[in-house]
Structure 1
Amino acid sequence: MIPITPRSGAVLAAFAAVLTLTAADLPGDPAGSVSGLGDRLYPDLGNPGYDVAAYDLSFDYHGQDRPLDAVTRIKARATAPLTGFHLDFAAGTISSVQVNGHPAGYTREREELVVTPEEPVPAGGELLITVAHTSDPRAANTGWVRTADGLAMANQADAAHSVFPCNDHPSDKAAFTFHITAPKDLTVVTNGVPDAVPEAAPASALTWTYRPASPMATELAQVSIGRSAVLHRAGPHGLVLRDVVGAADRDRLAARLAMTPGQISWMEDQVGPYPFETYGILSADTTTGFELETQTLSLFERRVLLAPEALAAPLMVHELAHQWFGDSVTPAAWSDLWLNEGHATWYQWLYNAQKYGVGLDQQVRAAYEGDNQVRAADGPPAEPKVPEPGKLGIFRNNVYDGGALALYALRQEIGAPAFQRLERAWVARHQDGNASTADFTALASEVAERDLSGFLHAWLYGTVTPPMPGHGDWVAGAARARAATAAKPA
């Protein structure tokens, strides 16, 4: 994500999460108080007791100011004996719940749907859950974003469960299928590629079906409904690129979107093959205050894409980099967010230096000189302070610039060739999975052939900014004034 804020371009960013509950902690009584995985930043997100394999989501769109009729089907497996279980669900009404083909009891508790199946489910048993509900784009803090002509989705970090019932924690990635019914004059695009030609539905509507090829965290789901043009072009190695823009912007945004193939090639030179079956940019005619790396289809405010190239292009690379760092390799807990945002910021800085002549050391030093102040305000990169409520709560500068500073320091410490080997090994080893700060430290030590745990601990968990290797003259003092145009991606 890249929040765009007036605070001298400062990013509101801080993810922190340590899982403290396991399936064994789940009480047999579904009305018990245990809810959530105990993530340090979002303790109520996620649910122990089961692992989701797949979501099948159906939405029937009636206009951006009316609730969507929805059916969420979840295929999961119990990891403990269950007489009941929770799903994260914060908004919408429920008309029925079924488990394994039979009606199930349910209640609502805060942002939880508490389900009591007709029969207990043994450990290892299959859970086929069907929830008929509504999904309301008018709800507060919803994952739906209303655009000039429809809807888009922005679920990061904790808004997916305002859209559909789910296990809303990045550690439980799953397969997704989307079925979206909308009037025939609208275009629907989701993550992945179409699974079938849109089918006619009653009342002059079409049903669109998409099935992304790779597993996905709930926070990365995307559904776009509007009067859109879908533009296709060829990417590296025959990769199909697909952009979604307002129908009137087809020509106006053409030059900006034509940069994507070259940016993908540039990123592949840094870290290796692009990890998914497609990529593209979704231009949303709305003001969100952020850009977002929804998997295979990054969400951008139209105004950002229309900004001067030297501002827009590095932000495009930031969200593109997230396809490797955050989407394919997803954090194990929200405290590991720096692995997403630090990497995306690092490649944004590197691209800015190589393509637009903004000195790399100049960008790094500006962040370094303000880092002590950032740590005092928001915490160190891998142990951020608990965020304020709201979509941008964890997106603070410690995980953006602070995470990128740690990566630059590591590159200085082990050398650029070893650093690139580490980056390539990281995305290859953990593709389509979850990984933690401890995993990154272990791999860095393996690649460098020496223990880097102390070095990285100081950068990632220290309350004071360490000396920068190779730059003994740099001082991490008070933050210097920084240009308001230095916008941050999400």
Structure 2
Amino acid sequence: MTALLVAGCSGPDRDAPEPTPSPSVAPSFAPGAAGAGDPYFPTYGNGGYDVAGYDLQVAYTPASGQLDGTATITATATQDLSSFHLDLAHLVAGRVTVDGQAATSRADGNELVVTPAAGIVKGRAFTVVVDYGGKPQVLANETLGTGGWLRTKDGGFALGQPESASTWFPVNDHPSDKATFALAMTVPEGLEVISNGLPGQRSTAAGRTTWRWAERKPLASYLAFVVIGQYRVRTGTHAGKPMIIALPESLPADGDAARSVGRTGEVADFLATQFGPYPFDSYGAVVLDDDRVGYALETQSRPVYGNTFFVGRPNVTVIAHELAHQWYGDSVTVARWQDIWLNEGFATYAEWLWQEHTGERTVQQSFDRVYSGFDWSVPTGDPGPDGIFGDAVYQRGAMAVQALRRTIGDPAFFALLKSWAAEHRDGTVRTEDFIAAAERAAGKDLGDFFEAWLFGKVKPPLP
């Protein structure tokens, strides 16, 4: 809210004429954009509206690979809309309504174009209901890999970055549009379903079980996930919140994966001393025993780990990385993919903090191991669309964080880590926002510092 202050005015001017009402302006309806306008991925997401929440009712049959769902999407128009796009890949939409009225829809590649019976004026809230179905698949990117729905012999899972959600529900698939997420997933009785947030009531009828999950804090679409199959699900509490850990029955109940994710609470508590209070309503972890998943992903409130991280040894460092994302990446989310160092640089730095905490090596020793022989040709703050998962983002990003610490000192640095997470909680940010926050914390201009450490292409001098 902005207040208008008038100097020397203690009350209304009795002699001033009554204001003349502005003539009403007729809406200027136009289609919403087919992309969110991301500089790296212009076709990702959509324009013209802001989603508040997704409420999904989905049924999946592993034997056939068929998925059928109804998505209820609540949103607000950010322009006068004559039509709008939803991202929906490899699935077919049936009946579509907007505010209960039948709407027309058509597929345009991986886009579902919806035309409501009447235009939607800017600022108006509206509800879209889409019936859809088919056999979901992954989205493949030549350099970034695949993301989305993967079928397994006893179920399936949906996972991936930067795209995945559109392979199993209609969505504005870009991190700039965060929304709440609720899922009711119906599967054959005897299978488990794990997803984001808090578990709801489970019900079984006619040989099928419906599992319910809800994430009440806004979530970026790539952080939504579902895992279906034969899992051991351990439910407890930690710090007064639910702790839910799921491991596939194909892995030993007391093996390296189980021991590693079993330390989730311990790691989260340590990170809270560095970053401030844990930002979500539940904790947890899911392990996948699938050769196609050689990565871990910070799926909101419950990270998912490929078992490759735990072969032959426990690995708590990866737990620290993905849990750090709950602050940096999940709660505080990048508004464009170019700024992903704000996710990965901080999560890599959290690994270094954890290793120092456990006595493995100091943060400065971790920095020195990378700094001496690093290739500085790719800038952290602008790595290019093919470089968003490269060393310039992870390792150089973490080095930039440590260099900032050495530049502004520990008191200002650790205060910044907490204030950044608190002030932007549940929101979206850009690199410019962090630079401004760092300069406020330091009490000085840091333009040259960030130009060298984030955007330069030569080795920066040590602070």
Residue 267 (1) aligns with residue 261 (2):
no
Q: How does 1:167-186 map to 2 (within 5 A)?
A: 167-186=172-191
Q: How does 1:160-199 map to 2 (within 5 A)?
A: 160-196=165-201, 198-199=202-203
Q: What's the offset of the Cα at 1:28?
A: 4.3
Partners of 2:398 and 2:221 in 1: how far apart?
Answer: 25
Quote the residue 2:280 is aligned against.
Answer: 276
Partners of 1:321 and 1:356 in 2: how far apart?
Answer: 19
Among 323, 335, 340, the alignment partner of 1:337 is: 340
Give the secondary-structure state (helix, strand or coil) at the position aligned to 1:384: coil
Partners of 1:308 and 1:233 in 2: how far apart?
Answer: 25
Among 403, 409, 415, the alignment partner of 2:403 is: 409
| AA matched with 1:430 | H
Quote the residue 1:144 is aligned against.
Answer: 149
| AA matched with 1:55 | Y
Further displaced range: 332-341 or 137-146 = 137-146
Partners of 1:396 and 1:257 in 2: how far apart?
Answer: 25
Quote the residue 2:323 is aligned against.
Answer: 320
Give the secondary-structure state (helix, strand or coil) at the position aligned to 1:57: strand
Q: What's the offset of the Cα at 1:344?
A: 0.3
- Does the 8 Å CA contact 1:442/1:453 hold for their aligned counterparts? no
Give the secondary-structure state (helix, strand or coil) at the position aligned to 1:323: helix
- Choose between structure 1 and 2: higher strand proportion: 2
Among 288, 300, 303, the alignment partner of 2:308 is: 303
Write out per-residue CA displacement over residues 276-309 of structure 1, whole angstroms, 9 at most, x where no aligned residue: 1111110111021211000011111123234413
- Does the 8 Å CA contact 1:135/1:163 hold for their aligned counterparts? no
Structure 1: 5+ residue stretches without partners: 1-26, 388-392, 470-490
Residue 464 (1) aligns with residue 458 (2):
yes
Quote the residue 1:243 is aligned against.
Answer: 245
Q: What's the offset of the Cα at 1:366?
A: 2.8
Give the secondary-structure state (helix, strand or coil) at the position aligned to 1:406: helix
Write out per-residue CA displacement over residues 105-136 of structure 1, whole angstroms, 9 at most, x where no aligned residue: 11222321111111111112222111111253
- Does the 8 Å CA contact 1:329/1:435 hold for their aligned counterparts? yes
Q: How does 1:79-228 map to 2 (within 5 A)?
A: 79-134=78-133, 136-141=135-140, 142-147=147-152, 149-196=154-201, 198-201=202-205, 203-228=206-231
Question: Alpha carbons of 1:35 and 1:68: their partners in 2 closer, same or farther (altered >3 Å)?
Answer: same
Give the secondary-structure state (helix, strand or coil) at the position aligned to 2:69: strand
Partners of 1:227 and 1:463 in 2: how far apart?
Answer: 48
Partners of 2:134 and 2:173 in 1: how far apart?
Answer: 16
Aligned Cα root-mean-square deviation (Å): 2.0
Q: What's the offset of the Cα at 1:65?
A: 5.2
Structure 2: 5+ residue stretches without partners: 1-27, 141-146
Partners of 2:152 and 2:359 in 1: how far apart?
Answer: 32
Partners of 1:53 and 1:399 in 2: how far apart?
Answer: 30
Q: What's the offset of the Cα at 1:84?
A: 0.7
Write out per-residue CA displacement over residues 316-351 of structure 1, whole angstroms, 9 at most, x where no aligned residue: 110011011100111111111000000000011221
Give the secondary-structure state (helix, strand or coil) at the position aligned to 2:222: helix
Q: How does 1:369-408 map to 2 (within 5 A)?
A: 369-371=372-374, 373=375, 375-376=376-377, 379-387=378-386, 394-408=388-402
Q: What's the offset of the Cα at 1:238?
A: 2.4
Write out per-residue CA displacement over residues 401-433 of structure 1, whole angstroms, 9 at most, x where no aligned residue: 011011010001011221110001011111111
- Does the 8 Å CA contact 2:51/2:76 hold for their aligned counterparts? yes
Q: What's the offset of the Cα at 1:138?
A: 3.7
Further displaced range: 393-402 or 280-289 = 393-402
Quote the residue 1:434 is aligned against.
Answer: 428
| AA matched with 2:187 | A
Write out per-residue CA displacement over residues 225-269 of structure 1, whole angstroms, 9 at most, x where no aligned residue: 11111112442x323211011235333344323322211121111
Give TM-score, length-normalised by structure 1: 0.83
Quote the residue 2:438 is aligned against.
Answer: 444
Question: Alpha carbons of 1:55 and 1:96: their partners in 2 closer, same or farther (altered >3 Å)?
Answer: same
Further displaced range: 403-412 or 443-452 = 443-452
Question: Alpha carbons of 1:64 and 1:304: their partners in 2 closer, same or farther (altered >3 Å)?
Answer: farther
- Does the 8 Å CA contact 1:147/1:285 hold for their aligned counterparts? no
Partners of 1:460 and 1:140 in 2: how far apart?
Answer: 30
Among 361, 366, 371, the alignment partner of 1:368 is: 371
Question: Alpha carbons of 1:231 and 1:107: their partners in 2 closer, same or farther (altered >3 Å)?
Answer: same
Partners of 1:46 and 1:346 in 2: how far apart?
Answer: 30
Give the secondary-structure state (helix, strand or coil) at the position aligned to 1:282: strand
Question: Alpha carbons of 1:64 and 1:351: their partners in 2 closer, same or farther (altered >3 Å)?
Answer: farther
Question: Alpha carbons of 1:269 and 1:168: their partners in 2 closer, same or farther (altered >3 Å)?
Answer: same
| AA matched with 2:379 | P
Quote the residue 1:4 is aligned against.
Answer: none
Q: What's the offset of the Cα at 1:384?
A: 1.3
Partners of 1:420 and 1:358 in 2: how far apart?
Answer: 19
Higher normalized contact order (CA 8 Å, seq sep 6+, divided by chain length): 1
Question: Alpha carbons of 1:383 and 1:303: their partners in 2 closer, same or farther (altered >3 Å)?
Answer: closer
Partners of 2:391 and 2:458 in 1: how far apart?
Answer: 15
- Does the 8 Å CA contact 1:56/1:72 hold for their aligned counterparts? yes
Q: What's the offset of the Cα at 1:398?
A: 1.0
Q: What's the offset of the Cα at 1:165?
A: 1.2
Give TM-score, length-normalised by structure 2: 0.88
State the identity as a percent. 39
Give the secondary-structure state (helix, strand or coil) at the position aligned to 1:347: helix
Quote the residue 2:7 is aligned against.
Answer: none
Q: How does 1:45-56 map to 2 (within 5 A)?
A: 45-56=44-55
**In terms of Rg, which structure is larger?**
2
- Does the 8 Å CA contact 1:88/1:167 hold for their aligned counterparts? yes
Question: Alpha carbons of 1:139 and 1:425: their partners in 2 closer, same or farther (altered >3 Å)?
Answer: closer
Quote the residue 2:448 is aligned against.
Answer: 454
Write out per-residue CA displacement over residues 209-238 of structure 1, whole angstroms, 9 at most, x where no aligned residue: 211121101000011111111112442x32
Question: Alpha carbons of 1:109 and 1:137: their partners in 2 closer, same or farther (altered >3 Å)?
Answer: closer
Q: What's the offset of the Cα at 1:356?
A: 4.7
Further displaced range: 300-309 or 220-229 = 300-309
Q: What's the offset of the Cα at 1:369?
A: 2.9
Q: What's the offset of the Cα at 1:35?
A: 1.9
